[in-house]
Chain A
Amino acid sequence: MLAQQLVNGVLLGATYALFALGFTLMFGVLRVINLTYGFYFSAGAFLSLALTRQLGLGIWAALPLAAIGAGIMAVGIDWLLLTRLRRRATAELDSLMVTLGGVLALYSAMTAWLGPDIRRLPPGLVSADSFVIAGVRITTAQILILGATLLLVALLLALMRGTRLGLAIRAMAEKPDAAGLMGINTARASALVSFISGCLGGAGGVLIGLNFNAIHPYMGETMMLRGFVVIIVGGLGDIRGALIAGVALGVIEVLTAGYISSGLKEAVAFAILVAVLWTRPQGLFGRAVMRRA
């Protein structure tokens, strides 16, 4: 029983980690908390719904296409909302407010268009088979979720650590002005970061949609709470921290739901957020630079 819950928790947490990764990457490089990020999650889920239901694509085609679609949206929306603010003295607060207004407009426009109802992916999209390994049951969907998450994280780390593009992005995260002087096209690198994090958010939406089989416009907003917890606990902008904190949060949620009450998992997650703010605001792994007012 406990082993089963731990496995479920790790698999759920892997999706949280993937989602939070895009969020923390955007903060780490562009220095903005982008609250529209939750929308890319909903958008990814709805795109996968359209691709599988209307076009009859399989999940292996729908997942990357939906992620890319969400990434393209992210580039457009971020450009529209954030480019004007970059040079302002109060950019931090302004970008929070503008993305908050933007995300409310996007969610409610989406609800007006598609309706607030919960939708489901077509049955039989993923085979309902499951495997029993040492008494622990794992479904095909869960294997797919884990595989896709590992693949995306590996791709991201390879890009950031192994390519010139990744070097440019890391240079921007370190010192944006100096990176510009060194000949890095910072506007293009920013757009690329938006694209990558939009893809990660969208892929997270598809995978969570697959895991719970419930897709609705505001699903990104409930997910954002997890995103906040993970990036604070892991440390703002810390990629490794986000991965560890994401998996840990998934396990804690599943255990809370299993042993206390499923209605209180949000409250437990939030209590962890507040506890970390009191004790270690630089994140549990202490690598993110804590910015004092």
Chain B
Amino acid sequence: MSIPPWLDDLLWTYQNLIHAMGVNGLLALSMYVVLAIGQLSLGQAAFMGLGAYSSALMTLKLKLPFFVVLPASVAAPVLVALLIGVPTLRLSGVYLAIATIGLGEVLRAVYLNVDVFGGALGLNGIPERAETWMIFGILAAGITGLWLVGRSGVGRAMEAMREDPTAAAVMGVNVPRYHLAALVTSAILAGLAGALSAHVSSFIGPNEYGFEPAVTILSFALLGGIGTPIAAVAGAWFLTLLPELMRDLPQVRLTLNGVIIVLAVLFLPRGLLGWRMGRKAA
């Protein structure tokens, strides 16, 4: 082993926290993609739940290997994203927000009441097949990919759409198509996050993907800022590390998440890390 023992100890002790940072980073990216074009989807936690449940069922019932399960885990979230996204993304932003905000609670009721999802007990004994390097590899790929897209002409179109959709459309940006692409990307990232988290924690339950996690994911992106993908991830990491200091006070932590969103929207619309993408003149 080339890893020094103290580092190995550290990684072992804080394994759950490190995994949570990776998974929450992916969720922050999933939120960033949608916010970056000026839309608000609150379905990230629900998409994550769909990825987690569908991947866990593929592993447990179909006995598929993880390298098949992981890519296949994006199917269910993407399907639901299309079902909701296609009709709403041509309309003003409130329709997408309304349709996605209820999604998590609806799916929770479905997980609780349909036998194959294990009811209130959830799904247990999921083999721990996701490795730390996989989580951070996908996170790094996501950051890099979104960074490259953001620096390109597509990024310029995204920023234009966020600032003024009408003007962007007049300049020839196909706004509905971008909206749908962003929502699908968002569902893919959240679905992967769900599959990975299910395969590091061995247990998933119906209450993990409802309203509170959905809002928490929004607070990741708003705290860090939505100018760059890395800022959103930094926001997620900060808010993942913070609760370690007040682990026994979950309600206080949630109150804080809510207050962070309020303060960020009112006073810090660019987030704490208000960087912008560097781009050459066209």
Name A's B-contacting residues (CB within 8 A): 33, 35, 81, 84-85, 89-90, 92-94, 96-98, 100-109, 111-112, 218, 221-222, 224-225, 228-229, 231-232, 236, 261, 263-267, 269-270, 273-274, 277-278, 281, 290-293
Contact = CB atoms under 8 A, between A and B. Distances in A.
User: For the complex, would chain A's binding face be called helix, strand, loop or mixed by DSSP majority?
Assistant: helix
A200 to B, nearest CB: 19
Interface in B58-108: 83-84, 86-95, 97-99, 101-103, 105-106
A114 B50 CA distance: 33
Contacts of B175: 293
A278 to B, nearest CB: 5
B97 A96 contact: yes
Given A94-B269, A101-B218, A264-B113, A292 B90 contact: yes
Contacts of B109: 263-267
Contacts of B92: 92, 291-293
B241 interface: no
B113 A261 contact: yes
Contact of B93 (A85, A106, A111, A293): A293
Given A81-B262, A273-B99, A281-B87, A93 B38 contact: yes
Contacts of B121: none
A293 B179 contact: yes
Interface stretch (B184-192, B196-204, B232-240, B252-260): B252-260
Contacts of B91: 281, 290-293
Contact of B251 (A108, A221, A270, A273): A108
A200 B54 CA distance: 41
A101 B265 contact: yes
A104 B102 contact: no
Contacts of B256: 105
B55 interface: no
